[in-house]
Amino acid sequence: MIGAPTRPGTPAPPFESTDHMGRTVRLDQHRGRPVVLVFYPADDTPG
């Protein structure tokens, strides 16, 4: 389910995923540092 968009400047909600090496990465591991998080629908699509 998709919620409402987050407004600029609002802290991101807790987030966890895997990196390209299969390691678990949590957003809170990067607290206090700039982070760019990009989502895309599939490979080979514009965006």
Whether 2 is in a domain gets the answer: no
Whether 35 is in a domain gets the answer: yes
pLDDT band at 14 (very low <50, low <70, confident <90, very high): confident
Closest by CA to 37, choosing from 46, 45, 21, 25, is 25
**Global pTM value:** 0.51
* Averaged confidence pLDDT in the chain: 80
27 burial (CB, 10 Å; 0-12 / 13-18 / 19+) is middle
Whether 4 is in a domain gets the answer: no
Structure token digits, residue 18: 């895997």
Per residue in 28-44, pLDDT (tens digit) is 998 888 888 776 666 66
Whether 44 is in a domain gets the answer: yes
Whether 38 is in a domain gets the answer: yes
Statement: residue 24 has pLDDT above 90: yes
Task: For residue 43, give its domain range.
Answer: 11-47
Domain count of the chain? 1
| 3-class DSSP assignment, residue 17 | strand
Whether 6 is in a domain gets the answer: no
